[in-house]
Structure formats: C-alpha cells, structure tokens
Amino acid sequence: MEEDKPLASLSLTHVHYNPEDHLSFLSAWLALVPQALCVVYVTLVWATREVEVGLMFAGQLGCEALNFALKRIIKEERPKQMFGKGYGMPSSHAQFVSFFAVYMGLFLLSRHSPNLANDSLIFRIVASLGIALGSTAVAVSRIYLTYHTTRQVLAGCAVGVVFALAWFSFTGFLRSYGWVEWGLDHSVARLFRLRDLVVSEDLAEAGWQRWETKRKTRRSANGGRSSSKED
C-alpha cells in the first residue's frame, strides 16, 4: 500500500521551463536566486556576526512575511498557463529581489563608509547598479516563465521597494538613537560575539591586513631564529 501513494514535489526548487528555450533555461536558474541569497545571508550572519547583516536579513524575512499575508488577502490567481500552486499577487520573487537591491544600494551609497584610501564611490555605484540589474532579470524571468503576470511582478517590485525604504529608515532610527549600540552591549550579543564593523570597515580588507601583519611577524620570527643558529 505504501508503494501506491503518490509522491509530492518540493515546490521550493521545482521550476517549470522549456528545455528547448535557452532564455527559459536561464530564467529557471534565476528563479533560484532568492534561495541562494538566503544561504548567503545565513552564512554571513554566522561567519561575520555582523549586526548590519542580521538586520538586513530580518528585514528580508519580514518582507517575505508581508508577501505571504498579501497573497492570502488579495487571492489573485497565477496565469492560467502556469501549472504551479498558490496565489500570484504580488510576486514573491520580485518582492524579494527588489527589497534586496534597494536596501543593499542604500547601504552601499549612504551607510557604508570604509576608511580606505582606495575606496571609490564610483565602484559602489556600479555595484549597486549591477545588483539592481540582476534583480530586474529575476523579476522579468517570472513573467517569461509565465509564473506571474506583468501586473503581479510590478506589484511585487513596488512592495519590495517600499518595504526596503521603510526598513532602512527604521534601522537608521535604531542607529541614530543608540539602540544598536545598546543591543551590542547586552550579554546575549556579547555571548554570540555580535559586532558592527561592516558600516565603517571593509571586512575583506581588514582581514587581509591582519593576515599580512601576522605573516610578517611570523617571517621575522623565523628569520631571527635562523640568524641566531648561524651565529
């Protein structure tokens, strides 16, 4: 009897596409971007313990919760030619990537100010535009794969942008009034070694400088021992 039971499909990664259409194949991969970004979020939160990354991830999850609620309030069906389940208004993919692009762009252009001689505003602008372009591709792919109508995707983008602006303002309020600093002084935050360096420091560059200093110290120590042996 167990063998007769039909199997279910995990719709989280199950994407319909036309295997003979290269753009459809690319769109299927673009559909996995939100899942990939969630993996990146969790990895960065665990590896860096940066409070800014945690705040952005919290906002991203809040945006997803809002999408979940809106779909069940509006109850608009997906396009008829789509075989998937669930409501389509607004597009969760479009809302997800819109939030990510807007919040990241605002962070790079107005909050992130690393004290580096080679820091370039142009580079941060280009990075923001690149993220926005990639997010647009993800949103358009939902229309191309007929998972959503153009109206559903545009609605998702609008909600994502508005929520990103609101959440960025809220996190700015927390910083301005010292709530972030207060939270970092809490015993729980100290237990998990939470920190707030990414706003004023390039983490890759800081890590590289510490690594270079450690290497130079080790080489100097090895050289000193070699000299003493020769004497």
Quote the number of domains for the chain: 2
Question: Has residue 223 got a pLDDT over 80?
Answer: no
pLDDT at 148: 87
Q: For the segment 66-93, what is each residue's pLDDT rounded down to a tens digit?
A: 999 999 998 888 887 665 567 778 999 9
Say if residue 110 is in the same domain as residue 128: yes
Mean per-residue pLDDT over the chain, rounded: 84
- Let me know if residue 100 belongs to a domain: yes
Q: Is residue 170 part of a domain?
A: yes
For residue range 16-52, list pLDDT tens digits in order.
Answer: 777 887 888 888 888 889 999 999 999 999 988 889 9
Sequence-separated (6 or more) residues with CB below 8 Å from residue 210: none
User: What's phi and psi for 165, nearest 5 deg?
Assistant: -65, -45
2 within a domain of the structure (yes/no): no
Q: Residue 115 falls within a domain, yes or no?
A: yes
For residue 193, tell me if it sits in a domain. Answer: yes
In whole angstroms, what separates CA 46 from the centre of its chain? 14
13 pLDDT above the threshold of 90: no
Question: What pLDDT is recorded for position 228?
Answer: 45
Tell me if 145 sits within 8 A of 31, measured CB to CB.
yes
Residue 184 · residue 51 · CB < 8 Å: yes
pLDDT above 90: residue 129 = yes
What digits encode the pLDDT tens for the residues 168-181? 999 999 998 989 88
In whole angstroms, what is the distance from residue 132 CA to residue 163 CA? 16
Over range 208-226, report the average pLDDT. 75
| Structural domain includes residue 6 | no
In a domain, 81, yes or no: yes
| Residue whose C-alpha is closest to residue 78's, from 9, 158, 143, 162 | 143
Question: Is the model's pTM score more than 0.85?
Answer: no
Q: Tell me whether residue 189 is in a domain.
A: yes
- 225 and 123 housed in the same domain: no
Separation CA 4–CA 2 (nearest Å)? 5
Residue 88 belongs to domain spanning: 11-200
From the number of C-beta atoms within 10 Å of its C-beta (0-12, 13-18, 19+), residue 10 rates as exposed
* pLDDT at position 135: 93
